[in-house]
């Protein structure tokens, strides 16, 4: 059975795209057939996987969603890009910004993406959605079609504060649009355990959330290599296979892979 995971946090710069890349490719390394969907008008996932000009692509997530809205024929495989590390990519680009405005006047606007994802479930073991840093209509669409949400949270005061609003939004989507939606867990990223500040934030996350939400024991350490992979178009496993961040993501992947396929 296919598992659909949305990677979401309305706070930018917390490691969503790095997590999406390494989770998707990590699952492929575990033998899973994986589709990564770039649900961000900035095209961060698309760029991070080596496609440097997403706005010049003829076909993107916005294209297929407009076809669904207009009741035009489409196919799951249309427009997919293929990465050398074994995953398929539905790219995202600036056209998603216009689509978000269009969706405000569309019937069942919160579930347009669900139609595409449900069709893709038949062809993949896992679908990973990288969401934009907002709680707008495209993120709501991603939550409405997912089985679970993985929340990357960098170790800082502002990302910690932002978790409250995100968790409220997830709860509202679960009640009104997607009763099966669960929180996969909070993933602490950019962790430097040498500092008391980081230790205090980790303690607060566990104090506030660990009794009701999974907080992954695996934490992603601060890593220059993790920041560099976006320019290389590869995963950490290819770029820095023995690094601490690579090992941390692989441990996360193995935990999630048990629930996939």
CA-angle at 223, arms to 157 and 247, nearest 5°: 110
- What confidence category does residue 193 fall into, taking pLDDT thresholds of 50, 70 and 90? confident
As a whole number, the mean pLDDT across the chain is 94
Lowest mean pLDDT among 23-27, 119-123, 134-138, 161-165: 161-165
pLDDT at 259: 86
C-alpha distances in angstroms, 97 versus 93, 94, 109?
A: 8, 6, 15
pLDDT at 227: 84
pLDDT at 104: 85
Is it the case that residue 79 has pLDDT exceeding 90? yes
* Mean pLDDT along residues 167-175: 96
- What confidence category does residue 36 fall into, taking pLDDT thresholds of 50, 70 and 90? very high
- What confidence category does residue 107 fall into, taking pLDDT thresholds of 50, 70 and 90? confident
* Mean pLDDT along residues 178-199: 93
Q: Of 249 and 225, which is predicted with more confidence?
A: 249
Cα 28–chain centre separation: 15
The architecture (CATH level 2) of 3-257 comes to 3-Layer(aba) Sandwich (3.40)
CA-angle at 168, arms to 186 and 218, nearest 5°: 5
Interval 146-157: pLDDT, tens: 999 999 999 888
Domain ranges, ordered by start, for the chain: 3-257
Report the percent of the chain where pLDDT is more than 90.
Answer: 81
Cα 2–chain centre separation: 16
Interval 58-68: pLDDT, tens: 999 999 999 99
pLDDT at 171: 96
pLDDT at 93: 97
Q: Where is 253: in which H helix or E strand? A: helix 244-257
pLDDT at 211: 92
pLDDT at 67: 97
Distance, in Å, from the CA atom of 187 to the CA atom of 23, rounded to the nearest integer, reads 12
* Residue 132 · residue 138 · CB < 8 Å: yes
Distance, in Å, from the CA atom of 194 to the CA atom of 154, rounded to the nearest integer, reads 15
The full length of the chain comes to 261
Interval 12-35: pLDDT, tens: 889 999 999 999 999 999 999 999
Is it the case that residue 261 has pLDDT exceeding 80? no
What is the pTM assigned to this prediction?
0.96
Interval 202-230: pLDDT, tens: 999 999 898 999 999 999 999 898 888 88
């Amino acid at each position: 059975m296919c598992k659909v995971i949305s990677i979401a946090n309305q706070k930018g710069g917390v490691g969503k795209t790095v997590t999406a890349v390494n989770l998707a490719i990590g699952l492929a390394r575990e033998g899973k057939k994986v589709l990564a969907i770039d649900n961000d008008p900035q095209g961060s996932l698309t760029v991070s996987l080596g496609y440097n000009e997403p706005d010049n692509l003829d076909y993107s997530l916005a294209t297929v969603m407009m076809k669904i809205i207009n009741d035009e024929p489409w196919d799951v495989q249309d427009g997919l890009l293929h990465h050398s590390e074994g995953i398929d990519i539905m790219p995202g680009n600036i056209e998603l910004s216009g689509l978000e405005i269009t969706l405000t006047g569309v019937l069942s606007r919160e579930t347009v993406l669900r139609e595409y994802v449900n069709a893709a479930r038949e062809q993949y073991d896992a679908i990973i959605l990288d969401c934009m840093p907002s709680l707008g209509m495209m993120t709501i669409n991603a939550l409405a079609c997912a089985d679970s949400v993985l929340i990357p949270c960098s170790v800082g005061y502002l990302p910690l504060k932002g978790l409250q609003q995100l968790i409220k939004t997830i709860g509202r989507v679960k009640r009104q649009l997607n009763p099966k939606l669960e929180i996969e867990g909070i993933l602490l990223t950019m962790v430097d355990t040498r500092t008391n500040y980081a230790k205090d934030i980790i303690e607060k996350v566990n104090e506030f959330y660990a009794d009701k939400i999974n907080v992954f024991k695996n934490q992603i350490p601060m890593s220059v290599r993790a920041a560099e992979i976006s320019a290389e178009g590869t995963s950490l496993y290819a770029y820095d296979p023995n690094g601490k961040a690579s090992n941390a993501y692989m441990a996360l992947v193995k935990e999630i892979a048990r629930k996939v396929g």
